[in-house]
Amino acid sequence: MIVKYGDSYEIDTDSLPEASVTALLQRGVNHYFGNEQAAKVSNARKKAEADGEEMTDDESEKLLAGFRDDAYQALLEGTIGTRAGGPKLRGLDKFVFDVAVSELRAVAAKRNAKWPSGKGAAEKVAKLVDAWLANATNATRVKTEAQRQFDAQQAAADIDFDFGEEAEAA
């Protein structure tokens, strides 16, 4: 299998030593189940705080467990990084969807409601997001947060790492 990093690196995984493949896979699994899912919980906590609510540690743990269950299911089904029900979302639309899902998961956790999983879950989640965003108050809040996250990502991507003479003097 060929994987790429940017335009500079193309790696044939079949030619790598087994230890390298194992290390890369372990790092990917750790990041996927750790950082990626924890970031979703962090966003839900920030949203709750912005709404004047406090998410308990127990609620956060339930939310994290749900995110990890969904991530595991997506991994097993081969749907990691894909979304059913239409074209893959990009740009601000992806952020809007992700923020809405994060909010909905927080609501589900507070209500001890089961989050959709398994076959047909993506379609159910898409319908939940559509219904959530049909409410003008929710839509405004979600779009504002999504724009903030989108702008932050764009700002991070625009960092100039060419320090010129200052770097040479240090």
53-100 pLDDT per residue, tens: 888 999 999 999 998 998 898 888 787 865 444 456 778 888 899 999
Is the predicted pLDDT of residue 167 greater than 90, yes or no?
Answer: no
Nearest to 71 by CA among 101, 45, 50: 101
